[in-house]
Chain A
């Protein structure tokens, strides 16, 4: 079975632009979470979705938004990009988003903001 897939793998944007990152969860998984990982740090939680509803939100500004589609894939949108948004963006899926479940991570999208 395919694992979590993310697109694109790499992306270069300039300050002020908007970006959309995409994630396809493992087949049968209904929960998707997004994380931001800045170089040298552990991943930081951004959003979690389950059955198209937002279940949790981390400490990120309103420029960050996400949604989940009926097929459980998800998009992360970031508006008005700042240099500090340069990071690896990770998507993770799990069957039902329960805290005892394993989360399966994708390879990430590396975003560079110039």
Chain B
């Protein structure tokens, strides 16, 4: 299965932008890049996903490198409610677990006021 590498933790201040990096050098052409986050004591929550082009939604932006070997989740203005574990996940054909999401340890984002 294609794997991702994320920093264990990052810190941010409220109201500032946050850039969460993810490396996925073994990504295949059909793999989608998904980002989920998990707030304390809750189930994971979808943030954004993309294939090749940059994506924007009301929560965040996803910047995908031209060679697709890395991506960055961008939170434009961090709030205290954005403090969570952020997971970068690849899914596509060839995933031995079918269409399941394979979670790593993610990046724990801390936001200070």
Contact = CB atoms under 8 A, between A and B. Distances in A.
13 contacts: A33-B100, A43-B101, A43-B103, A55-B98, A55-B99, A97-B98, A99-B91, A99-B99, A103-B46, A103-B101, A105-B43, A107-B43, A108-B43
B48 to A, nearest CB: 9
Contacts, number: 68
Nearest to B96: A56
Interface of A: 4, 31, 33, 35, 41-45, 48, 55-58, 90, 92, 97-108
Greatest chain B CB density within 10 A among A56, A97, A106 is at A56
B110 to A, nearest CB: 16
Nearest to A90: B43
The 8 closest A-B pairs by CB, nearest first: A56-B98, A42-B103, A105-B43, A45-B100, A99-B91, A99-B99, A102-B46, A105-B44
A45 B102 contact: yes
Interface residues of B, number: 25
A52 to B, nearest CB: 15
Looking at chain B's contact residues, is the secondary structure mostly helix, strand, loop, or mixed? Answer: loop
Nearest to A96: B99
Nearest to A101: B99
B68 interface: no
Given A55-B98, A99-B32, A44 B103 contact: yes
Nearest to B99: A99
A105 B100 CA distance: 12
A23 B88 CA distance: 25
A99 B87 contact: no
Interface string B84-101: 010100011101011111
B98 A42 contact: no
B105 interface: yes
Contacts of A99: 32, 91-93, 95, 99
Nearest to A59: B97
B46 A104 contact: yes
Given A99-B32, A100-B32, A100-B49, A45 B43 contact: no
